[in-house]
Amino acid sequence: MDDPVANMQSLLDTMFPKLIGMKMTEVTPDRLRAELTVTPEICTSGNVLHGGAVMTMADFLGAAGTFLNLPPGATTTTIESKTNFLAAATVGQRVEATCEPVHKGKSTQVWRTEVRRDDGRTIAVVTQTQMVLARAPSNQDLLTSLFQGKPLAEQKALLAQLERAGAGLYRVFASQEPDDARKQELLRAAEKEEENAKTLEDQA
């Protein structure tokens, strides 16, 4: 059975948040939770949890939440993060971060992460903006877009033009081909393209 928490933890374990001991506890498109136990290695002076550890938790959760809501093929990157530090967490305390969406837009998403100590005290609130980076269109997508929304006759005429352009390219390739057998194959391909173009033009 697919386990979203385990899947996200596997991703996390390949990244920097693993070094601070961050563990995922809930993963849905509308809420993510993670926790860690404060250790001396992730503290600043006075055995107090370093602010960078708090921001690391929030940054991963905000990006992960956006990722779960992206359209196919899109990616994301952080463009702004604001942190309000409200209290301290010390060695031995467990902290939990809860991240929920404020805005899910087509070009940006905003996520709010609240980080609490195990006694319920809020130690930080982080608001993070993620940019949605659309997938670059493939060559096939670009070609398909040329035909979308056009009447059938216009589509046929456009395809005929492309066929004739292809025939011209085949002839250029043939003129530069030293092997006679390959040259003849290219010329036959050019003739086929011309035949296709004529068929389309007769139907337009």
Contact 112, 81 (CB under 8 A): no
Q: Strands 75-85 and 94-104: what pairing?
A: unpaired
- What residues have CB less than 8 Å from 140, skipping those under 6 apart? none
Per-residue model confidence as pLDDT tens digits over 71-107 = 988 999 999 999 999 999 999 999 999 999 999 999 9
Domain ranges of the chain: 4-133, 139-199
> Most distant CA pair in the chain: distance in Å?
84
Is pLDDT of 1 > 60? no
Is pLDDT of 115 > 60? yes
- What residues have CB less than 8 Å from 138, skipping those under 6 apart? none
Report the interhelical angle of 152-175 vs 139-147 (nearest 10°): 140
- Measured in whole angstroms, the distance separating CA 137 from the mean position of its chain's CA atoms is 14
Per-residue model confidence as pLDDT tens digits over 132-152 = 998 777 788 778 888 888 898
The percentage of the chain sitting over the pLDDT mark of 90, rounded to a whole number, equals 75
Confidence band (pLDDT; 50, 70, 90) for 25?
Answer: very high
Nearest partner of 94 among 201, 9, 22, judged by Cα:
22
Task: State the average pLDDT for the chain.
Answer: 93
Amino acid at 191: E
Confidence band (pLDDT; 50, 70, 90) for 200?
Answer: confident
Helix (H) or strand (E) holding 188: helix 180-203
What pLDDT is stored for residue 145 in this prediction? 83
Cα–Cα distances in angstroms (integers) from residue 20 to residues 35, 75, 127, 159, 192, in the given order: 10, 25, 21, 57, 64
Q: Long-range contacts for 3-11 (Cβ within 8 Å, ≥24 apart)?
A: 4/28, 8/32, 8/64, 11/64
Confidence band (pLDDT; 50, 70, 90) for 204?
Answer: low
Tokens of 180: 């006679």
- Whether domain 4-133 has CATH 3.10.129.10: the reply is yes
User: Strands, E, within 9-107: which ranges?
Assistant: 23-28, 31-37, 43-44, 48-49, 75-85, 94-104
What pLDDT is stored for residue 142 in this prediction? 77
pTM here is 0.70
